[in-house]
Amino acid sequence: MEDLKQEGSAKTPVVEFNASGELLLKGRSIPENSIEFYKPLIEWIESYSETPNSSTVLNVQLEYFNTSSSKCILDVFKKLESVTGSEVSVKWYYEEDDEDMLEAGEDYEAIIDLPFEMIEVEEI
Amino acid sequence: MITTTFDLYNLMERDNVLLAFKGTVTSDLLDSVFQIMESKMVDLNDSPATKKKVFNVLVECLQNLYHHIDDFDKDNFLDASGSKKSAIFSISRNEDAYNIVTGNFIYPKNVEEVSKKIDHINSLDRDELKAYYKEVLNNGKLSEKGGGGLGLIDIAKKSRNKLQYSFKEIDDDYSFFTLTVKILK
């Protein structure tokens, strides 16, 4: 299984999905249409779920995301929720003054049946 | 009365306009606008939390324009020059708040639906708004262009203010929709 790596841009985040089970989304996610951007990520998780590592951690370190992305991020979580044979968890990072980002993490935590850890950092 | 460029200048000066635009809203235009606003805000003496909030709300407001502006079905498009597809927006900043204003043409038949949607959002308190956001996030589907019906809810939630709006009837075929979002610093 190959790793999935994408560089970030002004509107899209850095993606580092490692077959070792360490997954990272970092930066900003504000494309007008995020379906196209998130499709390969969701497909990657689908293949990964065939032979997952014993532990899978998704690190979400987003500075901004728009509402178009919020649906796709939910789909990423839902895909991870369906991975069996691996302890899947989410680390949700937010900057110390960013109440909205913490709230967004809590919203996902309420919808998705995965353990979330909220991690406050000075800067993402 | 003739409005001169100087009148327009004075108006924008009076309202402390940081950036204003009238024309067709494209993805490339939004890239530039976001870039300009980010670098402008670097020099402004607002807290990082305020800057982040303003940028977030701005992205939603302008992408909302982008998603809805060509809801006009191409075949029935009455305006050959395409000027009804153009929109206007401005971002201004005064001592206590930022104001983001957008204006675009819509079909009169959609006026009621948009009004109802905003009135509903405005009727909710903060906790209800959070619950409504979560409900639409979990149940809604993305349109082909990537809009998810969450934009206005998110704008109200993040701006922590009621949305102000108005419609101006232009003729039988078009109305003009104005949305004003105030973000306290």
Question: A16: which strand partners?
Answer: A5, A24
Specify the pTM: 0.91
How many percent of chain A have pLDDT more than 70? 100
Rounded distance between C-alpha atoms, residue A71 and residue B142, angstroms: 7
What ipTM did this prediction achieve? 0.92
When divided into structural domains, chain A yields a total of: 1
Of B24, B14, B60, B18, which Cα lies nearest the Cα of B39?
Answer: B18
- Which structural domains are found in chain B, ordered by start? 5-184 (3.30.565.10)
Three-state SS at B140: coil
User: What residues of chain B lie within 8 A of the CB of A71, using their CB?
Assistant: 137, 140-142, 148, 150
Domain of residue A101, CATH code:
3.30.750.24
Min Cα–Cα distance to chain B from A80, Å? 16
Q: Could you list the residue range(s) of the whole structural domain that residue A47 is in?
A: 4-121
CB distance A66 to A29 below 8 Å: yes
Q: Which residue of B has its CA nearest to A63?
A: B52
Cβ contacts below 8 Å, chain A against chain B, sum to 77
* Contact call for A33 and B66, based on CB within 8 A: no
Of B82, B32, B39, which Cα lies nearest the Cα of B62?
Answer: B32
Q: pLDDT grade, residue A33 (50/70/90)? A: confident
User: What's the mean pLDDT in B66-72?
Assistant: 72
pLDDT at B173: 85
* Contact call for A111 and B137, based on CB within 8 A: yes
Out of A68, A100, A111, whose CB is closest to B142? A68
Rounded distance between C-alpha atoms, residue B137 and residue B150, angstroms: 7
Q: In what side-by-side order are the strands of the sheet with B97-106?
A: B17-24, B86-93, B97-106, B175-184, B164-169
Q: pLDDT grade, residue B75 (50/70/90)? A: very low
